[in-house]
Structure 1
């Protein structure tokens, strides 16, 4: 299943799926060479649940929808764009899996809370909370992840992981993959997307790599820096074409909302 959301804007189509191959015109200077998409999670490597115990898959009627992150035994954070308009009565969270849709610990969902300001036209405030029907026990393959206080400066390297397609148009990956990506200067990110009239707001930031990143099926993929959650994969334009970096929801801007709703102490 390719999880692609296309939004018609005038004469152009903005394809809301996920990529971390970055602009060869602007970012070749940063990375030192021409940019090319690679295979796997567009350049990623296989990992396991003990390395990324906080990542879960959200499945609707037994079909993978997106990723999420455990923030407490009873709450998961993800992107609102993944689940908006769905019936969460048919939603299941799978924790601790390495293989997509296989094994792990399953929990039903008792509540789905998109951020009140979510704008599906420009993907602003793209974040949501999912409450599990019962607490999930933590072990070596299942654990929560703290939320960072701010996104690091441009040039810093963070890690993204997911089950997304290994190339444009391909099936989703059966195994969890991860790769390192570089934080992009906010104004550069904003400038890139002004060309296609898709705004990058203060609740977003960009990160990318010269040789790959997430593609279809990667909404909600966590971006982690210094063992703290800083972003969730939200949207981009294209997949594997080397022109645009991935845009993440800045989770650090929603620390207070998450803490208040989920009853966390941060």
Structure 2
């Protein structure tokens, strides 16, 4: 999977190892390269809240400059991973990225369908810890509002969607094999919400990150095979029709014993309420 998964190519390059634990984002100045492992093609029309983050200036025109994913929670508000906004991913400080956009309604990144909307404001979680990966989220404010139908409900604390054993799906345009085979079209992989102890044992604490149940969600398959990967960072983890997580980090992609770690949405809601 990836360390704070910006699960991007950029980070994979920075760390010098595709299988390293790192955020699932993409390295600059190349385009983000990871896709959902063990997934299937899906239509954006069926999950319109799934959007791509793009910058042609930083990642080129291939795949519309996509480097991370995002999810629409309000008509002008998109959530993504905080690590997607870091210089390690973008190649330059965020303030020097002049064409940061959110792409909605586009299945195939090689086309010009859907809409490209400029990002008016970026707010990185002030409680984000790049060492442990806790609080890995950023809030993007769009310059234009999307239709209400593009938004997804968020799951608050105590929601049954977080229960271990719950079926979920992760969405993205990232690496589909773990070998740099980046998807042009949106993919989704069916995963299972796992008990916190599974990720606590897999990620007890190191330079790669520390699993903390208060701000993270553990999901995947114990035997491996289905997972998010490079390029999927910031994308949605959905269960029972509600947003429960954002692709954040992990060790490799789809490896047995190394499930994916997602930013817990109930914690995102808590933090946003404090800084509203």
Same fold (TM over 0.5): yes
Residue in 2 aligned with 1:171? 181
1:66 is matched with 68
Q: What corresponds to 1:15 in structure 2?
A: 21
Deviations 1:202-230, CA, capped at 9 Å, x for gaps: 21121002432221111012011111101
Q: Which whole-Å deviations, capped at 9, do the CAs of 1:180-210 have from their partners, x for residues lacking one? A: 1111111221111127563111211210024
For the residue of structure 2 that corresponds to 1:89, the secondary structure is coil
Q: Is 2:219 the partner of 1:212?
A: no
> 2:130, 2:205 → 1: CA distance?
20
Q: Using the TM superposition, give the Cα deviation of residue 241 of structure 1 relative to its aligned residue in structure 2, in angstroms.
A: 3.3
Whichever of the two has the greater Rg, that structure is 1
- Tell me the C-alpha RMSD between the 2 structures: 2.4
CA 1:183–1:7 in 2, change beyond 3 Å: closer, same or farther? Answer: farther
Q: Secondary structure at the match of 1:218?
A: coil
* 8 Å CA contact 1:107, 1:132 repeated in 2: yes
Q: Distance in 2 between matches of 1:97 and 1:58?
A: 12
2:211 paired residue among 191, 195, 200: 200
SS in 2 for 1:70: strand
Give the structure with the higher percent strand: 1
Give 1:6 deviation, angstroms: 7.4
How many angstroms apart in 2 are the aligned matches of 1:7 and 1:122? 18
Contact 1:71 1:77 in 2 (8 A): yes
The residue aligned with 2:98 is 89
Cα shift at 1:248:
0.3
- 2:52 aligned residue (48, 57, 76): 57
Deviation at 1:89, TM superposition (A): 3.2
Which stretches in structure 2 are left out of the alignment for 5+ residues?
A: 1-7, 25-34, 87-92
Q: 2:194 aligns with which of 184, 191, 197?
A: 184
Which residue does the alignment assign to 1:33?
none
Q: Residue 93 of structure 1: CA displacement? A: 0.7
C-alpha separation in 2, matches of 1:113 and 1:5? 25
Q: CA 1:43/1:111 → structure 2, altered by over 3 Å: closer, same or farther?
A: same
- For residues 222-260 of structure 1, give each alpha carbon's deviation from its aligned partner in whole angstroms, at most 9, with x where no partner exists: 011111101001001122433300100001112144467
Partners in 2 of 1:5 and 1:169 — Cα distance?
A: 11
CA contact (8 A) 1:7 1:16 kept: no
**What is the TM-score normalised by the length of structure 2?**
0.77
Distance in 1 of aligned mates of 2:176 and 2:143: 33
Aligned with residue 4 of structure 1, among 11, 18, 29: 11
Q: Deviations over 1:113-133 (max 9, x none)?
A: 011011112211101100011
Q: Distance in 2 between matches of 1:77 and 1:116?
A: 14
Cross-structure match for 2:30: none
